Amino acid sequence: MTNPHYPLPHPQPPRKSRTGFWIVLGILGFFILLCGGCAGLVATSADDADSPGTSIAAGPAQDDGDRLAPAGSEVRDGKFGFVVTQVDPPVKSVGGDYLGKAAQGEFVLVHIDVTNTSDQPQSYFGSNQKLIDAQGREFTNDTEAEIYLNDDVFTDINPGNKFSVILAFDVPASAQPAALEFHDSAFSGGVQVAVR
C-alpha cells in the first residue's frame, strides 16, 4: 500500500551505451595512425634516396652516354652500400639433381656485398633489386633460385655489417645484362651500376 504523503519515485531513463561510439572512434584513430605511418615511411625513404652524397650513379642503363659506376665500385641507396663482386656465366638451372630450379631462359648470377652504412639495423630484400639489359628491359630477381644458392636471401643487417649474397635473374638467352638497379627498400629511388 502506498503512502499518500510520499510521491512515487520517477523511474530513471535507461542509460545509453557508448560502446559503439568508442569502437568507431578507435577504428578511426587506427586508420589515421596507419595513414600517417605510411606517409612517414615514404617520406623517409624519399629523403634517404634524395639526400646529397647518397648515390654514386643513377639513371637508366642506356647507350646514350650515361655513365654508370663500374662493377666493383660501391654505389649507395638509402642506408645500404652495394658492391658487385662477380658476375657468373649464364646457367640453365641452379641447385642439385633433386632440389633445384630450371630457368625459363637462363639464370644470370650476380654476387654482391651489401653494407649497412647507417646507425640502425636495416632489412635487406633481394626482391628490391633489378637487372636491366641492353634493351632497357627490367628483370626482377628469382627468389626461389636464390634459396638454392644462399644460406639467407633476406636478413636484417646491423650498422657497419656486410651481407654477401648471390642474386639470380631469369632472362632470355638473347639478353645482354647491362646494369643492376639496387634499392635499400621498395620505396627508395634506387641506384644503378654497370655489369659489363
Residues ≥6 apart with Cβ < 8 Å to 134: 61, 63, 175, 176, 177, 178
Calpha distance 60→71 (Å, rounded): 16
Residue 43: which H helix or E strand, with range? helix 19-50
pLDDT score, position 181: 95
Q: Give the per-residue pLDDT at 56.
A: 34
Q: All 3 cell numbers of residue 48?
A: 634517404
Residue 64 pLDDT > 90: no
Distance CA 191, CA 56 (A): 8
pLDDT tens digit string along 125-162?
Answer: 999 999 999 999 999 999 999 999 998 888 999 999 99
pLDDT tens-digit series, residues 3-12: 666 566 666 6
31: phi then psi, degrees, rounded to nearest 5: -70, -35
Q: What is the pLDDT of residues 86-118, one digit of tens each?
A: 999 999 999 887 888 999 999 999 999 999 999
Pairing, β 100-116 against β 122-125: unpaired
Determine contact, residues 112/85, Cβ cutoff 8 Å: yes
